[in-house]
Amino acid sequence: MELKSSKMGAGNFGGNESGSDASAPLHVLPPLPYDYAALEPVIDARTMTLHHDKHHATYVDKLNAALEPYAELRRRSVPWLLMNSDAVPEPIRAAVRNNGGGHLNHSLFWRLMTPTQGGAPTGVLADAVKKAFGSLEEFRTRFDDAGAKLFGSGWVWLVIGREQGSEKPGLEIVTTTGHDNPIQQGKYPLLLNDVWEHAYYLKYENRRPDYLKSWWDIVNWKEVASRFETPEASTELEPADGYLPATRK
Ligand code: MN3
C-alpha cells in the first residue's frame, strides 16, 4: 500500500518528507490550539498542562524511539502503522500501537474541544445524530454511559460505522481500551473523549460520570461537523485507502 505522502503533511502524522536529516524525530507533538486554562472550569489548567506536555509528549517520544531503528517504518504515518500492524515487527508492535495510538488520539482530542463552541450539532450532522440516536440528549446519555462503564483506561467515540442492524453507513458509539483507535476496526472517528484517569482525576477525582457530563460544554461541534461532512479532508486518516471514509456514501 502506497501512501499519498503529498497529503500527509498537515497534522504532524506523516513522515519526514524532507529526508534531509535521518536522525530528526519524525513525529512531533502538536501545540494545543488554545491556552492551558482555556477549557476551565471544565478541564483545569494543571490537568491540561500535564496531559499535553507530559503524557502526550511521552507518547510521541516513545513512538519515535520505537521506530528509530526501522528506516522503512519511519516514513509511515501513524494511521498507516495502526492499520497495518502485521507490517510492524513484533519487538516494537505493542509500543507502536500504544504510543502511536496515544499520539493520534490526543492530537484529535485537542482539536475536538474548544473554549467557545459547546452547544449542539447543526445541519446534516444534527440530522444524522437524530436518525441514529433519536435525539441529541439520547446520544449524549448513551455516550456518557459508554464512557462511564468502560473498565480501566480507554476512550469513548462517536464514529461513522454501520447503521444498527444494517450494512449501511451510520453513526455509532464505540469504546476502545488503552489507546486503540476505531480506524483499527474500519470505523471513522468524529468525536472522542479520554476516560483515562489522567484526563480528569485532579479535578473530578473518582467521579468520571461528572467529568463526562461537564465535558459537553467544550465540545467543538463545528469540527465534528467538518469531519462528518468532509472526512476526506481529515488528512491524518488519509491512508485508509478505500477502507474509510468511503463508508459514508
Ligand atoms: Mn489522555
Per-residue model confidence as pLDDT tens digits over 77-104: 888 899 899 999 999 999 999 999 999 9
Q: What local confidence, expressed as pLDDT, does residue 218 receive?
A: 97
User: How far, in Å, CA of 194 to CA of 202, rounded?
Assistant: 14
- Say how many Å lie between the CA of residue 21 and the centre of ligand 1: 30
User: How far, in Å, CA of 121 to CA of 222, rounded?
Assistant: 7
Contact, 157 vs 192, CB < 8 A?
A: yes
- Kindly indicate the confidence band of residue 236, based on its pLDDT and cuts at 50, 70 and 90: low
Q: What local confidence, expressed as pLDDT, does residue 77 receive?
A: 84
User: How far, in Å, CA of 122 to CA of 225, rounded?
Assistant: 8
User: What value does the CA radius of gyration of the chain take, rounded to a whole number of Å?
Assistant: 18
- Say how many Å lie between the CA of residue 179 and the centre of ligand 1: 9
Q: Phi and psi at residue 190, in whole multiples of 5°?
A: -105, -35
Partners of 157 in the β-ladder: 174, 192
- Say how many Å lie between the CA of residue 50 and the centre of ligand 1: 10
174 Cα distance to chain centroid: 12
Is residue 64 over pLDDT 90? yes
Q: What local confidence, expressed as pLDDT, does residue 7 receive?
A: 32
Listed residues: CB within 5 A of ion ligand 1: 194, 196, 199
Q: What local confidence, expressed as pLDDT, does residue 75 receive?
A: 78
Can you tell me which residue has the cell 460505522? 161
Average pLDDT of the chain, as a whole number = 85
- Say how many Å lie between the CA of residue 221 and the centre of ligand 1: 20
The DSSP call for residue 106 is H
Question: Measured in Å, how far apart are the chain's first and last C-alpha atoms?
Answer: 23
Q: What local confidence, expressed as pLDDT, does residue 21 receive?
A: 52
- Say how many Å lie between the CA of residue 88 and the centre of ligand 1: 24
Can you tell me which residue has the cell 481500551? 177
- Say how many Å lie between the CA of residue 8 and the centre of ligand 1: 24
- Say how many Å lie between the CA of residue 105 and the centre of ligand 1: 8
Per-residue pLDDT, averaged over 145-159, amounts to 98
- Kindly indicate the confidence band of residue 165, based on its pLDDT and cuts at 50, 70 and 90: confident
Q: Which three cell numbers stand for residue 17?
A: 518528507
Is residue 3 over pLDDT 80? no
Strand, helix or coil for residue 170: strand
What confidence tens digit (pLDDT) does each residue in 9-48 have? 334 454 444 444 555 668 889 999 999 999 999 999 999 9
Question: CB under 8 Å to 171, separation ≥6 — which residues?
Answer: 128, 129, 131, 132, 133, 158, 159, 160, 161, 190
193 membership: H or E segment, kind and range: strand 188-194
Predicted structure pTM score: 0.86
7 Cα distance to chain centroid: 19
Q: What does DSSP say about strands 188-194 and 169-177: parallel, antiparallel, or unpaired?
A: unpaired
- Kindly indicate the confidence band of residue 167, based on its pLDDT and cuts at 50, 70 and 90: confident
Per-residue pLDDT, averaged over 222-247, amounts to 60
E strand intervals along 106-185 = 154-162, 169-177
- Say how many Å lie between the CA of residue 128 and the centre of ligand 1: 28
Is residue 74 over pLDDT 70? yes
For residues 232 and 51, which has the higher predicted lDDT (pLDDT)?
Answer: 51
Question: CB under 8 Å to 8, separation ≥6 — which residues?
Answer: 14, 15, 17, 77, 235, 238, 239
User: How far, in Å, CA of 218 to CA of 113, rounded?
Assistant: 5
- Say how many Å lie between the CA of residue 15 and the centre of ligand 1: 23
- Say how many Å lie between the CA of residue 1 and the centre of ligand 1: 30
- Kindly indicate the confidence band of residue 60, based on its pLDDT and cuts at 50, 70 and 90: very high
- Say how many Å lie between the CA of residue 134 and the centre of ligand 1: 30
Contact, 231 vs 248, CB < 8 A?
A: yes
Per cent of the chain over pLDDT 90 is 69
What confidence tens digit (pLDDT) does each residue in 182-213 have? 999 989 999 999 999 999 999 999 999 999 99
